[in-house]
Chain A
């Protein structure tokens, strides 16, 4: 058990180094320097700019400088926002994106597990068919379509909720969180239904029922522990998906989070910002994947002895 733990953690380290290195060299491969677009820049100014951002040093030196910067959380200066560091910008956007991700995750878990478990218990009744049909919609309708449709219905036609913003008007956090959470609610519903169905057929559940435990006891205490394991393993990829989903959601709802910064940096060709946010996002995703794998391992009784 501990061995697997260590192996997983060790495996994450080369992934992190690979991600940071690939990103660094990819961005350096980009045709043209970061200041080429500013037409009015004279030769001397360009030289000074390159000097200031340390772009004249040999590539290997830049690489080691950058990599050792990352270790202490320094992603260098932003090319487009003079005087501000990438770390600073990330720290401005992160709390917003984090809040959005947490609300969406809570919505997804609540709706997903509830409807998945009920569907499994009431298999082949309308309590199974209806939530599972809605889940199919959640999987097939992409967030960048669902979001605008919800805005059109609840924001523009019914005028119930604000159409954009974050924390400025009452209720403006509802639509973004709901949009982002819905697709994951759908996946979680399907996973928990499948997991529960498998567990409910097993002998220890029959034993629990036979010894006269109440149905609610059987479900919550015995079946859900194992039945929801697939959901736990899904949490890591789900968080990764929530983060990339935030690119779209924050663009649609004009939320000043990390996702929107990233998309803007991509358009402005703010290379240090892209580099920094890519590495930052990747680190978060790798770490969350690792955590959910470890949690699933720890919860799974079959893996405990090894």
Chain B
């Protein structure tokens, strides 16, 4: 146990030294707090319209201006952050759950089970899922939770491969054999012995999945197939911004800037985490 705790504290020390990763983490932390507090700190409700005002540039009353319907852009970006971050985390959790379970079972039991399960992953890899998500949205309507699950169900494949690889390298080590000899059940074998030892790669890959998932959601929302008005996600805000960018460029620039900064922060943090937990790959 002392060995594993020193691994984590070593990793933490390396992470702290990486300025880009720390900067990313700080940006993300601020963003989480703002998104969580949105109903209390947003100056206006997200659907509040002021049709008399219409689109107005940034001012003292409306920090980032208003859109064509007179809705406060700052409030809408705050509420949009909730949706975009929620998608990022829920879909990543779904992907994590399926991928880790799949990889654990395939890697641990091995043999025919492994072959069949990994062949299924191979076949699924070949399927262009983004088109399928669009199809799902068309067929079953644009439901927020369906969107979460559909995106998550797409992103688990790589996670399954990573986990399986890790389990394969672990399962012949003495402590696993010892646990088997003691008659530990499969479930607690996974929970107590295997999972804690592969948390590193899982954490890294999960962090890098979040920005991909958020991009996918905003891509769909941009096409009009994701989040529906009057709710806002960053994708729908950018879509609205594009439609009126010739006259009201701030409607495109502020949501775009927020989204880009968030993606930067997530990527920097993810890269930093990978370098910290796996110093071998960080050389180049």
Q: Digit string of A1-35 for contact with B (CB within 8 Å is 1, else 0)?
A: 00000000001101100110011001101110000
Known: A15-B123, A144-B218, A144-B222. A282 touches B139 (CB 8 A): no
Q: Which of A48-56, A63-71, A148-156, A213-221 lies at the interface with chain B?
A: A148-156
Known: A197-B284, A282-B128. A149 touches B256 (CB 8 A): yes
New A-B pairs, 4, CB < 8 Å, besides A244-B131, A281-B128:
A142-B219, A148-B245, A248-B219, A251-B223
Residues of B within 8 A of A19 (CB): 127
- A100 within 8 Å of B by Cβ? no
A141 touches B260 (CB 8 A): yes
B223 touches A247 (CB 8 A): yes
Q: Which of A73-81, A266-274, A296-304 lies at the interface with chain B?
A: A266-274
A129 CB, min distance to chain B CBs, angstroms = 12
Per the bound structure, the CA–CA distance linking A219 and B168 in Å amounts to 38
Q: Digit string of B210-240 for contact with A (CB within 8 Å is 1, else 0)?
A: 0100010011001111000000000100110
Known: A11-B123, A267-B224. A142 touches B249 (CB 8 A): no
Residues of A within 8 A of B225 (CB): 266
B135 touches A26 (CB 8 A): yes
13 intermolecular pairs with C-beta atoms under 8 Å apart: A11-B126, A12-B126, A141-B263, A144-B222, A144-B238, A148-B241, A152-B252, A243-B128, A263-B223, A282-B128, A282-B131, A285-B128, A289-B126
- B267 within 8 Å of A by Cβ? yes
A interface, over-half SS: helix
Residues of A within 8 A of B242 (CB): 144, 148, 252
Of all chain A residues, which has the CB nearest B263?
A140
Per the bound structure, the CA–CA distance linking A262 and B175 in Å amounts to 54
Of the residues B130, B138, B241, B246, contact of A274 by C-beta under 8 Å: B138
Q: Digit string of A238-258 for contact with B (CB within 8 Å is 1, else 0)?
A: 001001100110011000000
- B134 within 8 Å of A by Cβ? yes
Residues of A within 8 A of B246 (CB): 152, 156
Of all chain B residues, which has the CB nearest A251?
B223
- A139 within 8 Å of B by Cβ? yes
B283 CB, min distance to chain A CBs, angstroms = 9
Per the bound structure, the CA–CA distance linking A292 and B246 in Å amounts to 41
Q: Please count how many residues in chain A sit with their CB below 8 Å of the partner chain's CB atoms.
A: 47
Q: Which residues of chain A from 138 to 197 have any CB-CB distance to chain B below 8 Å in the complex?
A: 139-142, 144-145, 148-149, 151-152, 156, 194, 197
Known: A18-B123, A156-B246, A289-B126. A198 touches B219 (CB 8 A): no
- A286 within 8 Å of B by Cβ? yes
Q: Which residues of chain B from 245 to 284 have any CB-CB distance to chain A below 8 Å in the complex?
A: 245-246, 249, 252, 256, 259-260, 263-264, 267, 284
Of the residues A27, A31, A152, A285, contact of B135 by C-beta under 8 Å: A27
A26 touches B126 (CB 8 A): no
Of the residues A26, A140, A152, A197, contact of B139 by C-beta under 8 Å: A26
- B198 within 8 Å of A by Cβ? no
- A233 within 8 Å of B by Cβ? no
A286 touches B126 (CB 8 A): yes
Residues of B within 8 A of A252 (CB): 242
Per the bound structure, the CA–CA distance linking A231 and B139 in Å amounts to 36
- A278 within 8 Å of B by Cβ? yes
Per the bound structure, the CA–CA distance linking A27 and B126 in Å amounts to 20
Known: A136-B267, A144-B219, A148-B242. A23 touches B135 (CB 8 A): yes
